[in-house]
Amino acid sequence: MINYFTNFQKGQISNANFLDKVNYYALFFVYLAIIVFFSTYIYMAAWVYTGERLTRQIRERYLRSILRQNVAYFDKLGAGEVTTRITSDTHLIQDGISEKVAMSISYAAQFLSAFVIAFIKSWKMTLVICALIPCISITSTLLNKFTAIFMK
C-alpha cells in the first residue's frame, strides 16, 4: 500500500488507479476487521462458557466435600466463611480460565502469525529481530521481579 502512495506522489500512477487501489485495500482491511471481530467473539464466548462449566463443577464438588465434614469443622469457621470461600475461590478460577487462558492463546497465535508473515516478507530482517528476543525476555523478567519486590 505504501508503494501506491509513493508512486502516486511521484506521478507514476494515475489518480483513478490510485483511488481504485486505496478503495480495494480499505475494503480489505474492513473485511479483515470484521473477521477478527467475529472470530475473537466466538473464541472468547467459548472460553467463558468453558470457564462457567468448570466453575460450576468445582462448586458442586466443593459443596459435596463441605457437606461430608463433621459438625466440629463448622464450629471452627466463622459465619458465612464457607460461602465466601466458595465464591471467591471459584471466581478466581473462572477468571483465570475464561480470560487469562483465552488471551494467552490469542497472544501466542498473534506472535506466531506475525513471525510467519515476517519470515515470508523479509527473512533477513526477521533473523535480526530474532536476535533481540533474548534481550527483551531478560528485560521483561527483570522488570517483573522488580515490580514484585516493590509491590510487597
The set of residues, in sequence order, having a beta carbon less than 8 Å from that of 65 and lying 6+ positions away, is none
Tell me what pLDDT residue 67 has: 83
**CB burial class (10 A; 0-12, 13-18, 19+) of residue 104?**
exposed
Q: What is the pLDDT of residues 86-133, one digit of tens each?
A: 888 888 888 888 888 888 888 898 889 988 999 998 888 888 888 888
- pLDDT at position 35 is 94
Confidence of residue 24 (pLDDT cuts 50, 70, 90): very high
- Residue 2 above 90 pLDDT? no
- Residue 56 per-residue DSSP state: H
Instruction: Say what the pTM is.
Output: 0.62
Distance separating alpha carbons of residues 26 and 32, to the nearest angstrom: 10
Q: What pLDDT sits at residue 76?
A: 79
Position of cell 509491590?
151
User: How many Å apart are CA 40 and CA 106, to the nearest integer?
Assistant: 9
d(CA 67, CA 90): 17
Q: pLDDT-based confidence at 53, cuts 50/70/90?
A: very high
Q: How far is Cα 116 from Cα 113, in angstroms, rounded to an integer? A: 5
As a whole-number percent, the residues of the chain with pLDDT over 90 amount to 24
Work out the mean pLDDT of the chain and round it to a whole number: 87
Half-sphere exposure at residue 42, Cβ-oriented, CA atoms within 13 angstroms? 6
Is the model's pLDDT at 143 over the cut of 80? Answer: yes
